[in-house]
Structure 1
Amino acid sequence: MKNVRFERIPENSDEPPMFSARGKYRRRYREQFEKLKVHPGETEIPLDNLAERVDDANVSLNSAQKRAIREYSADSDRDMVDLSDFESMLTSKRAQPSRMKRIMYDIADPVISESQKVEVRSYIDSYNCFPPPIFILLVTIIEISIFFYYYETDGRGSIWTDCAGCFVHHNHSDPGVLIFVPKLRAEAWRFCSYMLLHSGLNHLIGNMVVQLLVGIPLEVVHKAWRIAPLYILAVVTGSLLQYAVDPNALLVGASAGVYALIMAHVSNVILNWHEMPFRWVRVAVLSTFILFDVCGALYRRFVISQCESISILAHVAGAITGLLFGYFSLYNVVELKWEKIVKWVALGLYTAFLVLTVTMAVVRVPHSKALWEDSSC
């Protein structure tokens, strides 16, 4: 006999969980569990009697969930099942008949906490994959394709450092159609389209790897209609902040959007710290990426006196977007009262930040003096 243990999902007895329709899945499981009770005061059900009660009570479960209950009854050394155990059974991978949905479980699990699994997995079960979670994948394919298209048609120098597509025939007086250039700010699409260009394969690979590893799991959980605005807003805010501070800088790369994805995940890890598996590993990996980026910029500027070509301000704007707008817009499955207040405070702070950057971008004119100026550059 196998020793099977149920995946315990922490309960919040004082506050109802909220996932889209205020925890509709957990409420449904609670209602189903109530139907299985023999008497009102019963809080646990004998495991060897659970499958029989499901059949007798005519509880609405699919065939895979009923089979999972029978398998747990045969394999587990537990005697009793409570509501948390019942929820875990119905949202386990063995209770999901679709291979694709089981794969989506594996993709989503790394970015959610234990208390979120019931609602997130249930949402995935009911999700018909239309539209499919393809925003991050599609954006990545477009960014890679544009880089190689421009490099193959007009590439010069090393592929690792060539800013393919940034300038027409590499003539720095003729900017390409996608790069953000201050003097062409009237072409408003440039505030966003610069994310499609990268200054070499090194730049591209770094952004795309992180974008896929963090972005796809977030999109599976939160869906494209929440991830897409977060990503695009971060890119736009990145160019706005850079232009507001230094109206002489040109911009390329998707780093602002990537930072928004990273910081959105960081905020989720912090909020669910005690429940998040491998929390120290997550913090270490994400912190290493951020520290490498920031410390590299500081080293290049102050140790070897190299004028910085990377827009740290765009990264900062992306991080702010991920933390503030991400906290407001992304699903918080188990939402407490104080978190609702923080959510609206976060939206207010981000709105103020966005209005400030837009106002400064309107007031500032191209080639104005930077708010801080380095005479050596």
Structure 2
Amino acid sequence: DNPVNAAANADVVRSERLHVTDSWGTMVIGDSATQTWHWASSLDHVAGDDWTKRLTTHVAGIAEPFSVRLDAPDSGWTADVLGSTLFRCTPDAPHVPEIADGRILFRASGPGERRTITAGFSAGGSVFRLSFGSDSQGIAVQVAPPDSAIAAESADESAAFRELPFGFPAVVTVYAGSADASLQRNTDEEIHTIPRGSLLRWTTSSDAPDAVDSSVMPEWVFHGAQPTAEVTSEMMRDMADRLSTFESVSGAVLELSADRNAQVAAYAVRLPALTRNTEELSALLLQSETEAVRREAIRGLRQIIRQLPDGRRRITSALEKRLSEAELEPTVFMLEGVSRIAAEDPQTCADLVGLLDSKRTAIRELAIFNLEELTGERHGYFAGDDSGRRDAAVRRWKRTLDRNDGLLLPR
């Protein structure tokens, strides 16, 4: 069978079961009724249980660097869900995983004669059918928010999930790293071929796939759930063991985000980023003495602003309890991200460099975070340095403005 052509005639095999394997014990579950998060390991669950019913009433999440495995034994596929990913199933499609954002790597389950595997998934309000050969090493799917402003309304009107990015427009990227694949959207009869070594990108608010000028594959497409160069299996096991000692997810975040190992502390922040917890992320940004923690909190808050229509309001509400009015406006502005267009204004550039002198470490961190994004430079500036080192670095930034007629970047 050729997976490129087979999808034209093959329906998605309806899986009657969906199994979840949480080997690390680090998956979290959001209860739609109470809007609270718990460790999935705290549920009354045994290996081999069917998760379809539970995943229609709960949201599941796994934070980087961990992963969980999904198995659809009736459809012949298995998938590694890589952190950080939020997923669930919906009552009208209980056997099709819906991905709010994150990464998933599909492959055939078990040996056997070569055949075409067809897996369904949904994202951004659309259902997709992915087909690939059973001898493929895996077909990777990434779901992310679009670069442009999000829609004012979600396709999902369920009050239980309004604070999570389900149903909003998304960018779906399929990487055919090891074999040919094909993709079909449920509302479209056309089947799109994805040759080996290439990718297909589709913004779900569009009728057709996006034009792409590159087929560069990220490393995770090939490595899947294997530990990255930055993190070892030993470190992951140590983190998982420590997380298992906490009854509450929030308790684990509070403790581990203050860990002396900055890498462990930063990974802990990915839990409230995963669950879109604006209160915890705001507190971590403003209170942590660790640069890596502050930066992960910035990324988490920025994700909320960009994904959710009321994200800006929620973050402003969390920050206004902790900041003065004069501090609040520039903080939210920098969390949204200073665009290159905004950086064409000399006053914006001067203000951003001026914020490097803020008395508040979090505001200084936001300023250098944005400056580094815009220019690729730090000029030796670190928000947590002593005032003498910061002053010397600020002078270097001011010389940059002088050289560029008041701008961060030359015209």
Query: TM-score w.r.t. structure 2 length?
Result: 0.22
Name whichever structure is richer in strand by fraction.
2
Larger RCO, structure (CA 8 Å, separation 6 or more): 1
Query: TM-score w.r.t. structure 1 length?
Result: 0.24
Which one has the largest radius of gyration?
1
Name whichever structure is richer in helix by fraction.
1
